[in-house]
A and B are shown apart, each in its own frame.
Chain A
Amino acid sequence: MTKILDRMAAEGATRRETLTVAATLVGGALVVGCSPANVMGDILSLGATKDFGPFGPFIKVEPNGWVTVICKHIEVGQGNHAGLAALAAEELDADWAKVKTEHAAANAKVYANSAMGVQGTGGSSAISNSWLQLRTAGAAARAMFVQAAATKWNAPVGEVTVQNGVVAHAKSGKQAGLGDLVADAAKVPPTTTPTLKDPKTFTLIGTDRVRRKDSVAKSTGTALYTQDVQLPNMLTAMVAHAPKFGGKVVSFDDKATRQVPGVVEVFQIPSGVAVVAESTWAARQGRDALKVNWDLSKTESRSTDQLAQWYRDLAAGKAAAGDLKWAAFEARGAPSAPGAAALETTYDFPYLAHATMEPMNCVAIVNGASCKLISASQSPTLDQLNAAKIVGNLPGNIEVQTLFAGGSFGRRTNFQSDYAAEAVHIAKTVGHGRPVKLVWTREDDMRAGYYRPMVHHALLITTDKDGFPASWRQRVVTQSIMKGSPMGTPKLDSTSVEGAMGSPYLKATPVVDAQVLSPDVGVPVLWWRSVGATHTAFVMEHTIDQLARKAGRDPVDYRRALYAKAGANRHLAVLNLAAQNAGWGRPPPAGWTRGAAVHESFGSVVAQIAEVKLENGVPKVGRVVTAIDCGTPIARDQIAAQMEGGTCLGLAAALYGKMTLKDGAVQEGNFDSYRVLRNSEAPTVETYIVPSSNPPSGVGEPGTPVIAPAVANALLAMGQPPTTSLPFVKT
């Protein structure tokens, strides 16, 4: 600790910065909530390079005319690099065929996400927080090329044009490629306030030309993932983890492990016992041969059945909440003695694993206090901080190289940097700058926690004479994701209730009493693609469908009326667009039944109308008509791809997703026990984008949470009973 402070002083950190870091590092946490975001960026980027090329930290132009857009956000599959590149290329007027993308090095300040204050990818914010930044970068670079050409050709700046990567002066007939002018343009002083295009004049943004830049690499096996990293002298490590959350190593017997050819070293680290070997297979066999004696006395040893019952009892007031406090997230009107309930119901949601296709892994190289990570992290900045604490260095001095991620869905960012920290501990013990690739097996990945929390909702709703909600009481019980986070524990963790909080249905209800309780459970929990909406969308949309049916109204019409009351125009527009394209109001194809759902998340509103039938009691989803309002569309094809993919992930969870704990031990370990969606179960999603000139909003997550309630609502329309828990398939 002292060492860090000394170094910080040496690097010229101000007293305030030093104190902030000191206080927070002693507590093992960083108090983002208490520090202005710009100070956080300064602190976390201490030691980081400030040298960028002539066109700034986001754009490189090569003499051969290729333009590289440097992406501060990780590409985990969500297609953001296509959109990010388009933002810069549009304003630069680059030739789209000669634009490529590259992951930025970690830099908390220069590459900060304006929605977070530090560098990070999450909350479906990549495009929205880069909208002006990358356009400005592109426009500033363009101005440098224009000035360079004007000087070189002795032409007025106003007469120089740029189109498709060609700089031209019509009057003199002179023209040159961006590449030809790089050397001259690099000498022009950059402006920070270039003129941006009027969006009406865009030639690239919002067109079908904006396509992925990585499809060739990802269709030929040449895209590089952390799993693929091979470095001279590199070792591969696996870790034996405790069988229950919170278990500690007492002792271990590594005799058999050390006999496995290729095993190099076996040692204890904070999270378990590491086996370091010359190959993945040797590490695996070595770990399989290891015998560890665990102290399980302080572990979470409850079963998920017990936890679910406890949550139900807490919501019903049958179990004492003790020190826990209910927090109101919506309150309106005076709760009078409720009249006869029109609807009283509860919903239960299980833990969910992210189960990204590439299990967690990280390459770390440690030599004394110097440390480099090669990985696919949504929060390279947090990894810098956590690695810095382990090796005793400044966060900005930790070099992070970001590679493609084989999926993330929220998993590759947590406040502890769990697997990255594990890799750093191992590489530190190995030392001497010898690269170590930590790899997790599928089972390690699935049993490591950081799940979407279990959730229980209890609702009691009364209605007016027209069948619309008159009073709405809601109790939500779920572990808080933000609890104990470096950002401080908020009184109300909005990630637990977002989507219910702010719902147009609550806005349209005169009396609302909605509260959440966050019990402590020793299972690590985390955001899972669309976070709170994974359950709130289901609760709100399935409840509304039940109320519509009780009122004897068409569920789409019933929603329209509520949106009108709430002034929810964007909800209305997406619902109408989906209904119109799905043929709502006309009979569905023989054998199919339609269900509708609408949900706003991450600034975007999505409506889906799903055609569903039951096959051997299992819902089968065919056509799904999707409408989205995500503000100005940037990469239309990728918006559609995210609706397709999000729907599949949401449907996988709805049909089968459930992590089970028995006396604290996770039961599921691989895809045989944690069923996911397969090709024959995947619907055909049609995507319609609402035209909009608003700033762009989220796309990666909003397509995920809507399918589950759409399916449940189709089941209602078939005459099936309401769905009170997920997954649909219980066995």
Chain B
Amino acid sequence: MATTLQINGKSVQVKAAPETPLLWVLRDELAMTGSKYGCGVGQCGACTVLAHGQPIRSCSTPISVLGTAKITTIEGLGGDHPVQQAWIRHDVPQCGYCQSGQIMSAVVLLAQKPKPTDEEISSAMDGNICRCGTYQRIRAAIKDAAGLPQVASSPPPLKTPSVPAPAAKI
């Protein structure tokens, strides 16, 4: 039985059984591997995609419930999205595995709150785990994309002090 999905502006027929989570249809059947598996139980956010502009955890969403929802995945952002451009400017990714999900959550946040507060950023991003610990750069990139000033207590991270280095004994 085929299901029709609306993905990144296209109508797509998929063969997977209706109870199959969207994540596995995207990855295995449609070869759209930008959305990642991290936990499978809605805990980590690596699989985040948008449905009707709202973030959903595709690992825990069977395709049967999607109906005509317009799905947007990381592939649908196109690469020039202001959030992606800010991510690249800040060299946010480390291993990068969580970043598709992070970016999708940030896109929703800025669509809903173009000038979010620090608290709004943190709480909107709290469902997306990054084991590499890129959280600080995620916050900075979101502010950058929103045209907000950076945190006052965070001077540019690269500062060369004038303290001379003692000789190392390696």
Contacts and interface: CB of A to CB of B under 8 A. Distances in A.
- A, B co-complexed: yes
Given A629-B168, A679-B125, A670 B41 contact: yes
Interface residues of A, number: 89
B128 A357 contact: no
Contact of B95 (A280, A358, A576, A690): A358
Contacts of A441: 40
Nearest to B83: A219
Interface string A217-239: 11111111101101000001000
A415 B139 CA distance: 39
A281 B43 contact: no
Interface in A266-311: 279-281
B95 A215 contact: no
B116 interface: no
Interface in B76-126: 77, 79, 84, 87-88, 91-100, 103, 121-123, 125-126
Contacts of B135: 648, 677-679, 682
A397 interface: no
Interface in A682-731: 682-695, 697
A406 B170 contact: no
Contacts of A79: 94
Residue from A217, A220, A406 with most neighbouring chain B CB atoms (10 Å): A220
A227 B158 contact: no
Contacts of B133: 644-649, 652, 677, 682
Given A684-B153, A687-B157, A645 B75 contact: no
Given A640-B157, A682-B136, A631 B100 contact: no
Interface string B137-154: 111000000000001011
Q: Is the interface of B mostly helix, strand, loop or mixed?
A: loop
Interface string A349-383: 00000011111000000000000000000000000
A279 B114 CA distance: 40
A569 B166 contact: yes
A672 B41 contact: yes
Contacts of B161: 577, 580-581, 688, 690-691
B110 to A, nearest CB: 15
Given A218-B96, A406-B36, A694 B131 contact: no
Q: Most A CB atoms within 10 A — which of B20, B44, B99, B165? A: B165
Given A219-B84, A221-B34, A680 B157 contact: no
Residue of B77, B88, B168 with most chain A CB atoms under a 10 A cut-off: B168
Contacts of B99: 218-219
A409 B129 CA distance: 16
B39 to A, nearest CB: 5
Contacts of B79: 216, 219-220
A103 interface: no
A190 B107 CA distance: 51
A357 B130 contact: yes
A680 B29 CA distance: 35
B170 A407 contact: no
A689 B156 CA distance: 13
Contacts of A409: 131
A355 B20 CA distance: 25
Of A78, A236, A682, A697, chain B has the most CB atoms within 10 Å of the CB of: A682
Top 10 nearest A-B pairs by Cβ distance?
A: A221-B34, A648-B133, A406-B97, A218-B96, A77-B95, A77-B94, A682-B135, A569-B166, A221-B74, A218-B93
Interface of A: 76-79, 208, 211-212, 214-225, 227-228, 230, 236, 261, 279-281, 355-359, 404-409, 439, 441-442, 569-570, 572-573, 576-577, 580-581, 603, 622-623, 629, 631, 636-638, 640-641, 644-649, 652, 670-672, 676-680, 682-695, 697
Given A220-B77, A629-B168, A686-B157, 7 more contacts: A280-B24, A357-B129, A580-B163, A645-B133, A670-B41, A679-B135, A689-B160
Interface of B: 16-17, 20-21, 24, 27-29, 31-41, 43-44, 46, 73-75, 77, 79, 84, 87-88, 91-100, 103, 121-123, 125-126, 128-139, 151, 153-155, 157-161, 163-170
9 contacts: A219-B84, A219-B87, A220-B74, A408-B95, A577-B163, A637-B157, A671-B44, A678-B129, A684-B154
